[in-house]
Amino acid sequence: MIIIIFRVRLSPDAGKDYEAMEAELGGLVQHNPGFIDAKSYVAPDGEHLTIVWWRDEESLRAWRELPRHREAQHAARARWHDYYRVEVATVTRSSAFDRS
């Protein structure tokens, strides 16, 4: 399993067009083969954190190369993000507990 940790600070130009693209990509990623789950959070200082779980590197690569995702990446660099940081990690061990 692969985990993506995506940290971003939005620019003042990240408005309705950003929100629309974020919603569109959120729908697309869920149908991408190999996608497992995603969670997003906003820190008190305004930084956004998204964690995405993928089955393997091949499915992540397919997502990264998806033309609509590439368009969003270019728009983000041009207008929507003041900065971002992406970290890719391989899960070597996992454990869980669920009282339910």
Q: pLDDT for 9-30, tens place per residue?
A: 999 999 999 999 999 999 999 9
CATH number of the domain within which 52 lies = 3.30.70.100
Domain that holds residue 27: 2-90
For the chain, what is the domain count?
A: 1
Within a domain: residue 97? no
Pairwise CA distance, residues 92 & 18, whole Å = 34
Residue 30 inside a domain? The answer is yes
**Contacts of residue 39, Cβ cutoff 8 Å, sequence gap at least 6:** 50, 51
Q: Which residues share a beta bridge with 53?
A: 3, 37
pLDDT of residue 86: 96
Q: What is the 3-state secondary structure (H, E, C) of 37-49?
A: EEEEEECCCCCEE
Binned at pLDDT 50, 70 and 90, residue 93 comes out as very high
In a domain? residue 95:
no
The reported pLDDT for the residue numbered 64 is 92
pLDDT at 98: 95
pLDDT of res. 56: 96
**35-91 confidence digits (pLDDT tens):** 999 999 999 999 999 999 999 999 999 999 999 999 999 999 999 999 999 999 999
Spatial CA neighbour of 8 closest among 59, 38, 37, 45: 45
- Confidence at residue 60, expressed as pLDDT on a 0 to 100 scale: 94
